[in-house]
Structure 1
Amino acid sequence: MFYQLTEGHPLPHNPFSAIVAPRPIAWIGTRGKLGDNLAPYSFFNAVAYTPPQIMFASTAAKPDRDGTKDTLAQIRESGVFSINLVTTDMIDAMNASSAPLPAGGDEFDHAGVTKAECRSIDVPRVSDAPATLECRLVQEIPLLGAANFLIHGEVVGIHIRDDCLNDGRYSPPPRLARLGYRDYAAITEVFELERPLGG
């Protein structure tokens, strides 16, 4: 089948996010004048090594946040945020933190997530995350469509849980990935693949 986006899709549900999958989940911690916030985002990835950089997209708005969501509103205030990676044993807390609490509601408390402080920025992080990236905002880029914004950040500090290191390599428990619809995946099989010479 083929369809043009200008004509919409003929399927029961939009397949776009299911096609571009799996995607890692950024469990983002922020702090603003109303308090602390924690929310998952699946339009997320690493985009550069030196310096290390990430991006995520905020694609909706809350009526109490002036055209965006709590996360982006607080990044605009502080210029910093934490990205906590998610393993399968954290799925219930991660899902609970996506509840649409009023601005100022603390999703750490709501989801029963233990909070810790970042080291180089004034932002909370998930204390038992396998890894956390401390990030500074580089730029916010408006995207096509209402309330769609791309957030580009520089990683300025990294936390790795001690039990997630094996012979000097990052080796966390099964990671959680986002598919489409209401689907998730657990990354339980990992294999190495050598690149061609010069690749």
Structure 2
Amino acid sequence: MEFDFTQIEAEGRYRLLTNFVGPRPIALVTTRSASGRANAAPMSFFNVFSHEPPIVVLGIQPRLSGEDKDTVANIRRTSEFAVNMVDMALSQQMLVCGLAFETDVDELEISGLPTARCRQVDVDFVTNSPCAFECRVERLIEYPRRVLVLGQVVHMHVQRGCLDEAGRYVNPETYQPIARLHADNYITSDRQFVLKAPAISEVLTTAKRAGQ
């Protein structure tokens, strides 16, 4: 089957992209409202794109009315946000944060998530999240139906148990984030395996023999 993205409607493009590009990690994004209350919303259009500088990217669409969602409105005003990674223990509370509450409702409070103030930005982070990234906006890229938020990570909170004994690499026994596939389908990283690339010399030798 062939799909011409210059011809099909937006709903079809969304369905194809989100069905086949996955799993996509979930960012539970926390911001600060104009009245000083915390705001939290899950985003599955999210990933890390650079380590130098350390950049994460959010892709956020507006409301059906065309108005900015609370997360974008807060980010535009403060240029600050935090990304809280989500595991199974936080999955139900993450879904609660994604409900269509009124603008000044504190989703962190209503979902019962424990929080603390970030170290370098004026935002609350989820203390029982496996890890949380404090971010300042590096730039916003605007489209008619989407804004891409490039955030530079300035601080990171990591649960000690999520790292190995040396504190260098993730401990796969304890850090098992969930990610979105399509619709209401999610996946967790509790089944991990090792893939090691072969030596170039081995590949070239095999290719040479196959060509003889």
Q: Tell me the TM-score normalised to structure 2 length.
A: 0.83
Report the secondary structure of 1:48's partner residue.
Answer: strand
For residues 141 and 54 of structure 2, what CA distance do their matches in structure 1 show?
Answer: 18
- Give aligned-pair identity as a percent: 30
CA RMSD for the aligned pairs? 2.2
Q: Which moved more, 1:181-190 or 1:153-162?
A: 181-190
Instruction: Check 1:102–1:62 CA distance in 2 against 1; reply closer, same or farther (3 A cut).
Output: farther
For residues 41 and 60 of structure 2, what CA distance do their matches in structure 1 show?
Answer: 11
| Unmatched 5+ stretches in structure 1 | none
Offset, 1:62? 6.5
State the partner residue of 2:180. Answer: 178
Q: Deviations over 1:34-83 (max 9, x none)?
A: 321011000000000112111011013265xx721011100111111100
The residue type paired with residue 28 of structure 2 is W
Report the structure number with the largest CA radius of gyration.
2
Q: Tell me the TM-score normalised to structure 1 length.
A: 0.89
For residues 8 and 64 of structure 2, what CA distance do their matches in structure 1 show?
Answer: 28
Report the secondary structure of 1:119's partner residue.
Answer: coil
For residues 80 and 43 of structure 1, what CA distance do their matches in structure 2 show?
Answer: 18
Instruction: Check 1:53–1:10 CA distance in 2 against 1; reply closer, same or farther (3 A cut).
Output: closer
Instruction: Check 1:151–1:9 CA distance in 2 against 1; reply closer, same or farther (3 A cut).
Output: closer
Report the secondary structure of 1:174's partner residue.
Answer: coil
Q: Deviations over 1:123-145 (max 9, x none)?
A: 000110000000000111012x4
Offset, 1:110? 1.7
For residues 2 and 194 of structure 2, what CA distance do their matches in structure 1 show?
Answer: 35
Q: How many residues align?
A: 193
State the partner residue of 1:59. Answer: 61
Q: Which moved more, 1:93-102 or 1:1-10?
A: 1-10
Structure in which a larger fraction of residues adopt helix: 2
State the partner residue of 1:33. Answer: 34
Contact 1:62 1:69 in 2 (8 A): no
Offset, 1:197? 6.5
